[in-house]
Structure 1
Amino acid sequence: MSKEENEVVATGMPQGSAPITTTVINIRTETSVPDHIVWSLFNTVYMNCCCLGIVAFAYSVKSRDRKMVGDMTGAQSYASTAKLLNILALVLGILVIVIFIIVSAIKGQSR
């Protein structure tokens, strides 16, 4: 007997070549697709410049619907569009506020 076979016999493992069965468990990772619905709601209520907040909210709802039925590709597509529209709405809203403050300050000094 070789050294390995002697160790197997000493540990009590069977010497015959019995079939070894294995079990494979596929764990599906839950991919998180953010739908940006809270951000869209904020932009709809406060920064609805050119109605971009409402459109972003609609895309966020579509993204959430696609996620609920399991279409992660569609959900990601709608979510990225909602994110882009939210960024545009936020930037335009802040720009309008800054311009309003500057115009108010200039008019206040001219009096």
Structure 2
Amino acid sequence: MLKEEHEVAVLEAPHNPAPPTSTVIHIQSQDSMPDHVVWSLFNTLFMNSCCLGFIAFAYSVKSRDRKIVGDLTGTQARASTTKCLNIGALILGIIMTILLIIIPILTLQAYQ
């Protein structure tokens, strides 16, 4: 066998009749449960009607603390409460913003 033929034979892939196998590892992430901290912070800063945004922020921090400890039931309960409070704060904030726009317009039209 010539030197070039030997090098080509060595460089070729081995002929294995068995198909390649793969291994799949399923990792369960504990970050899958949201704690709504960013939404609560937004509501605290901009839509804090009746202090619902601040209360939602407090519950979201408690939810994050429970997540760090590993208490998934407590995390889920506080996250659910946080979500409800955030929805309430957002709806009240939007209604109040609309009223703050409409009431001055109506009062200006009444005086004209």
* Fold similarity call, TM over 0.5: yes
Matches within 5 A, 1:52-67: 52-67=52-67
Aligned length: 87
TM-score, scaled relative to structure 2: 0.72
Q: Which secondary structure state, in structure 2, belongs to the residue aligned with residue 82 of structure 1?
A: helix
Q: Which secondary structure state, in structure 1, belongs to the residue aligned with residue 94 of structure 2?
A: helix
Amino acid at match of 1:30: S
TM-superposed CA distance for 1:30, in Å, is 1.7
Counterpart for residue 29 of structure 1: 28
Q: Which runs of 4+ in 1 moved over 6 A?
A: none
- Partners of 1:27 and 1:109 in 2: how far apart? 65
Q: Which secondary structure state, in structure 1, belongs to the residue aligned with residue 47 of structure 2?
A: coil
Aligned-pair Cα RMSD in Å: 1.7
Amino acid at match of 1:56: A
Matches within 5 A, 1:1-111: 27=26, 29-31=28-30, 32-111=32-111
User: Could you give the per-residue CA deviations for residues 30-55 of structure 1, whole angstroms, max 9, x where no partner exists?
Assistant: 24110000000010011110000110
Structure 1 window deviating more from structure 2 (26-35 vs 52-61): it is 26-35
TM-score, scaled relative to structure 1: 0.73
Identity of aligned residues (%): 58
